[in-house]
Structure 1
Amino acid sequence: MKKFLTAAVLGFGMAGAAMAADPAVGTWQTQVDDGAYAHVKMAPCGGAVCGTIARTFNDSGEYKSPNIGKTLVIDMAPSGDGAYAGKVWRPSNGKIYIGKMNVSGNSLKLSGCVAGGLICSKQTWQRIQ
């Protein structure tokens, strides 16, 4: 029983370290969309990465958007080499897009489409933390 518990603890520790090393984990600044931008905190969620709106800004500075705390990046599963696939919610129109994400250093490229690929949007985010 002791061996099992030790193996389980080591396994969880290694899994946690692997997820902590995920290149998407951290805080990212979005591009301006409809006059506002956000800081999105990306963190592990199951075997994927999810992003929650942590802070919001407009021309006047930081403001308390009703979207703070909402999930913007949904279940982005890694597929290797900094590439991910999942979903993205766009607050300005309320639509959920089939999304792709690619992380390279301090740059994150996010794209998404609805209506079978007829309506698409993309942004490049910068790591701030």
Structure 2
Amino acid sequence: MKKLITATLFALGLAGAAQAADPAVGTWQTQVDDGAYAHVKMAPCGAAICGTIARTFNDSGEYKSPNLGKTLVIDMTPEGGGKYAGKVWRPSNNKVYIGKMSVSGNSLQLSGCVAGGLICSKQTWQRVK
């Protein structure tokens, strides 16, 4: 019984460490969209990665957007090699799109697509240090 408990705790510890090491986890700055940009906090949500709007900025500086705390990156499931698939919410039109994401170092490429991926809008985000 002791061995089973130890093995279970060890496995849970490894799973937690694997999620913490995910290259998408952290805070990312979006590109300007409709005159504003945001800091998005990416964190594990089950087996996927989700991104929540943590701070918002416009030409005047930081402001309190009604979108603070809302999920922008939805259930991005790792596909390997720093690539993910899930959904993306665009606050300016309140629509959810098919999403793709890839992470390389401190750069994150995010796209939201319609029509089965034929028409896409892309952004490059930078990691906030």
TM range (shorter): over 0.9
Q: Distance in 2 between matches of 1:94 and 1:41?
A: 19
Give the aligned CA root-mean-square deviation in angstroms.
1.0
Aligned twin of 1:101: 101
Count of paired positions: 129
Aligned twin of 1:92: 92
Deviation of 1:89 (Å): 0.3
Asked whether the equivalents of residues 96 and 114 of structure 1 are also in contact (C-alpha less than 8 Å), the reply is no
Asked whether the equivalents of residues 42 and 50 of structure 1 are also in contact (C-alpha less than 8 Å), the reply is yes
Where do residues 109-120 of structure 1 align in structure 2 (5 Å cutoff)?
Answer: 109-120=109-120
Residue type of the alignment partner of 1:101: M
Where do residues 35-114 of structure 1 align in structure 2 (5 Å cutoff)?
Answer: 35-114=35-114
Could you tell me the percent identity over the aligned residues?
83
Aligned twin of 2:4: 4
Aligned twin of 1:29: 29
Residue type of the alignment partner of 2:85: A
Moved more, 2-11 or 96-105: 2-11
Gaps of 5+ in 1: none
Give the TM-score, by structure 2 length: 0.96
Gaps of 5+ in 2: none
Deviation of 1:50 (Å): 0.4
Q: Deviations over 1:22-65 (max 9, x none)?
A: 00000000000000000000001111100000000000000000
Q: Distance in 2 between matches of 1:117 and 1:6?
A: 46
Moved more, 110-119 or 79-88: 110-119
